[in-house]
Every structure is written in structure tokens, then in C-alpha cells.
Amino acid sequence: MSTAQESLNPTTDDFAAMLEASLETNNMKEGGVVTGTVTGIEKDIVIVDIGLKTEGRIPLREFYEPGNDEPVKVGDKVEIFLERIENALGDAVLSRDKARREESWLKLVKECEDKNPVKGAIVGRVKGGFTVDLGGVNAFLPGSQVDIRPVRDITPLMNEVQPFMILKMDRPRNNIVVSRRAILEESRAEQRAELIENLKEGEEREGIVKNITDYGAFVDLGGIDGLLHVTDMSWSRISHPSQILSVGDTIKVKLIRINPETQRISLGIKQLSEDPWMSAVARYPEGTKLTGKISNIADYGAFVELEDGVEGLVHVSEMSWTKKNIHPGKIVSTSQEVEVVVLEVDQEKRRISLGMKQLMGNPWDSFSERFPVGTIIKGEVRSITEFGLFIGLEGEIDGMAHLSDLSWDKSGEEALAEYSKGDVVEAKILEVDIDKERISLGIKQLTKDTGAGPGGQAAAKGKTVTCTVTEVNRGGIEVTFGEEGAETKAFIRKNDLSREHSEQRPERFAVGDKVDARVIRTDKRTGQVTLSIKALEIATEKEAVAQYGSSDSGASLGDILGAALKDPKD
């Protein structure tokens, strides 16, 4: 049979071959990955046979991979993405990029699930970061994930195949986010763990200062950083680490603490030398006079540096005999050299108490010698308070004239209103208390001493007097007593208004009320009389009990007092 006849009359074998070819073609679905063979390379086009009627043509650039100069050659088997079996020209539409992308996605999903690093190369820059080629699939590398520290120039990292960690995958959006920093941190953590195993607490090492903060400095110990806190830099006070350190300095440090779990290392410099406080008691016995420099000033005093690492505190109360209620900064200044005396050393608490005023003469001693009680002095009113006048005296000392010692005839508030700051007044010294550093003055005592007058006779201690209320205030009541024209003024304090606490209320009295009170003290020197209604009530009760029997007889206190009030002898 001729060839023409064979073609017109195909055999059973021919039908089988054609059926097999047809089935193979039908199994090739568009949108899937198939295997093809490179049959030729023409300039920038790769010709691939995937078993269809016609061969497919793919741009050569789709076969290039980072770091590979010869991407493909004739005869290579390659995975190809079949976009269309036949286009308008009858050619198959193929893509190597999409095949690689599909293949890579499957691999990347597996690596992401297993939390394994993937290989890739930084190939471009985009807003907020960079593009990374993960073997045909593009991923986004945020700028913050490039390195552990900010990178100024990324050029050396471009097109270099290196590991990345997948942070996020979104297949529907073809979105992958990767991190190079995570790889570096993991590697660094492994190195740190290995280095920490070789470190021991207490050993000394050299390091390089890498960074300085307000609270300390980070020191590179050869691949691992340790923190040198500002309090461990020197035994003396340091306000900021930059005072003694600079970035790049090579320093010797001691490993104070190592925490293997957190991989934190605490370093110290001052621990390389002996603690000066260990011998402070021997070097600074109480009473020692020293010269030091003011290192710091606080509201409560000033710190004086006695030597490197040893400071003492001069409390504000120990700075001056006379300057009490002012800030220490108005007495001394930072870096000023001062003379001090050691008052106390507490080695356990690392405290040295110093004094400055002890090196000066005590003006209170000299004042009491020159101006005994009873001396009339002159001074300027420095301040006026609700208690009285503060009068400036010789030696920068202030004396106080209480409002009860301002006038015989006027209430304290009325008398106080007659004075102004800056007035020069005369006063009598009533008392000098050196221990409490207090001088009591009196102005009314310059004109009249009621202790010797008619009122004074009536104000003998223990006497009962009838008083007239002249003023009521929160602290008690002011009263007068004695003969008309020679009345004596006195003040009954709140807690002396009654023996019952509930009745110790000044507001239950009114101006003009008559009250009986007992004289409990008369100061002949100042003429001041102290009265108490409470003392009179207690005395009356005692007298009644003595006369009518004790409460043990069954009679109540009310019965006894009632009997006393009805006594015909009264």
C-alpha cells in the first residue's frame, strides 16, 4: 500500500498515537505549570517546546537569577507557566517568571510555616523600604528591618544573595514582608550566649565605649555589650557619664553581674579601686576640721567633697547661726571651697555630717553676755506675723515680741496693727534661751509693770477673780479684771475654758460676759497673768469632796456640788 493510501487509511496504531497526543494536549490546562525543553536561544529570546503544535517563545531576561551569569542553555528542562495554549498567531503563550513565582510561593509557604530563613537579594528601592527577589517572588523589606542599627548606605547589600526571615505572607494580594534584621538578631543572640558562657563575674576586661546615655554607657566587650551605669563609674559624684567618658574610649572594667537568661551584663569602673568609705571613720574622726569643695546644693543642705569618692552633707541648720529659713544656695555656691568640721560619721549608711557654723563664734552666747535679761535694746522690725513682731538685734539675731507683750491697754491684734516693717522700736529683754536660740522681748514692759500695782495684788497665784470678756478668738478669750481704771488684761487659752473637753469652745462666750477664773501663774518680771476656768472647777470639786465626803459614800459629784452651793455658810 502506498504512503498516500496509508495516510488516507490510518491503522489502529496511528489512531492510538493520535489519541495519546490529544490527551496530552488536553491535560495541559491554561494557568498551570508544565515542564518544557529549551530547543534554542535567539538573541534575547528562549524557544521552549512543551509538546504542543508550536513552540513557545520566552524573553531571556525571565531566566536570569541573581548571581548566575548563564541562566539557561539548549537542552535544559525548565518549569514553564502556560498562560494560553494558543494565541491569535497560533503560538503558545508561556512565562518563566510566573512559573518561578508559583514554584517559589509553594516553597516560601513551607519555609514560613517551619520558620526557616529564605534566600533572596535586595534588587530595588521603594517607598518605605526595598524590594527583595526571593527566587522569582518579590517581597517587601521595610527600612527598619534592614539591620539592627540604621544603615546610611545600602549599596554594598544590593544584589547580594543573603538570608531573610518571612514576617508576613498574603497570597491573595501577592504580598510578602521579610526581615534581614531578624536574622542578624538571632545570629547575634547565639554569639552573645556563646560569649556569655566564657565570661565570669568579678573578672576584669577591656572594652570600647560604643554609646553614652544619661544613665550610663554601653561598652563593647568583643562582640557583646555591657552596661556601665553612671553610679558605677566613680566613687565620687558624677552628674553625667560624658564628664569622664567619650565614645570610642578604650577602658578597663570589672564584670559586676551577668544574667545568662536576659544576657545582660553590668560593668563597673569604681570597683577596680578600693572603696574610700572603708577607712572613712579612721580618717575623719568627729571634731576634725577640713577644707572641701561644694559639689552639689539641695533644698536641705550642701554636699561637700572631702576627697575623691567621699562627700559629706552640711545640713542647712548647720550652715549659719542666724540664717535659718533661706535656701542653702544663698549661703554657698557650687565649686566654692569651704571650711567644715566633722559632726558625725555613719560608715554603714555612708554618711558624714558636717558643720560650718561651728567654726564661727556663737552669737547667742555673746549676746546673752552683753545683754542680760532686763536690758533695754533698740532694733528694726524685720517681719510681722500673727504671733507678734520679729525685731533685728545685734549680731544678725532676731528677737520676738509676742502680741501679748506689746501693750497693756490694747488687744494684741490692735497693738500689732500700729507697727510696720522697718520701724525702729525699743524693747526690754525678757528671756534669752541659748539652746533654743530664742530671745523674748517685751514692749509694754517699758511703760508699766502691773505686777506691783493694784491689779497685781489681786492677781496672786491661787486667787479667784471675776473677769469680763473683752474679745473672743479661735485660741481662747481675752479678759480684764481688777479695779476700774487699773484693770489687768489676761488671756484664757482654749483648753483652760473648762475641764470638760466638749465645753472648751471659745464661741460659747460673748464680749461682756462675766466669768470666774483662777490665777495659776503671775510673772512678776513681765507682769503677765495666766488664768484658768478649768483650774477653778477642779479646785472647787476638791474642796467640795473634802467638805461633804468622797463619792465612795454613794453620793454623786452633782450631789456634792449641789450641797456646796446650798451651804448656808456661803
Helices and strands, counts by H and E, the chain: 10, 30
Note the pTM of the prediction, 2 decimals. 0.40
- The neighbour count for residue 493, using CB atoms within 10 Å, is 15
Contacts of 284 (CB under 8 A, 6+ apart): 290, 306, 310, 312, 342, 345, 352
Per-residue model confidence (pLDDT) at position 547: 60
The least confident of 90-99, 298-307, 471-480 is 90-99
* Section 516-538 average pLDDT: 82
pLDDT tens, residue by residue, 327-384: 999 889 988 999 999 999 887 788 899 999 888 877 877 787 888 888 898 899 988 8
Fold observed for domain 280-358: OB fold (Dihydrolipoamide Acetyltransferase, E2P) (2.40.50)
**Arch. (CATH architecture) of 450-548:** Beta Barrel (2.40)
Amino acid at 274: E
Q: Say which residue, 395 or 525, is predicted with more confidence.
A: 395
Give me the residue label for grid cell 491689779. 455
The least confident of 70-84, 473-487, 537-551 is 537-551
CA distance 534 to 239: 61
Amino acid at 246: S
CA distance 286 to 271: 28
Domain 3-100 CATH (choose: 1.50.10.10, 3.10.290.10, 2.40.50.140, 3.10.310.10)? 2.40.50.140
- What ranges do the domains of the chain cover? 3-100, 117-185, 199-272, 280-358, 363-446, 450-548
Top-level class of domain 117-185: mainly beta
**Shared fold status for 280-358 and 450-548:** yes
Mean pLDDT of the chain: 80
Contacts of 375 (CB under 8 A, 6+ apart): 428, 429
Model confidence at 563: pLDDT above 80:
no
Banded model confidence at residue 22, pLDDT cuts 50, 70, 90: very low
Fold observed for domain 199-272: OB fold (Dihydrolipoamide Acetyltransferase, E2P) (2.40.50)
Q: Which of these, 242, 246, 234, 131, lies nearest to 178 by C-alpha position?
A: 131
Per-residue model confidence (pLDDT) at position 141: 93
Per-residue model confidence (pLDDT) at position 142: 92
pLDDT tens, residue by residue, 428-472: 988 888 777 788 898 888 875 444 343 444 566 778 888 999 999
**Are 301 and 313 in contact, with CB atoms under 8 Å apart?**
yes
Q: Which of these, 84, 105, 96, 86, lies nearest to 36 by C-alpha position?
A: 96
Give me the residue label for grid cell 548566575. 68
CA distance 451 to 490: 12
Tell me whether residue 133 is exposed, middle or buried, using C-beta atoms within 10 angstroms of its C-beta: 0 to 12, 13 to 18, 19 or more: buried
Model confidence at 557: pLDDT above 80:
no
Alpha carbon of residue 255 to chain centroid: 27
pLDDT tens, residue by residue, 194-236: 777 778 888 888 889 989 999 999 998 877 888 999 988 888 7
**Arch. (CATH architecture) of 363-446:** Beta Barrel (2.40)
Alpha carbon of residue 453 to chain centroid: 66
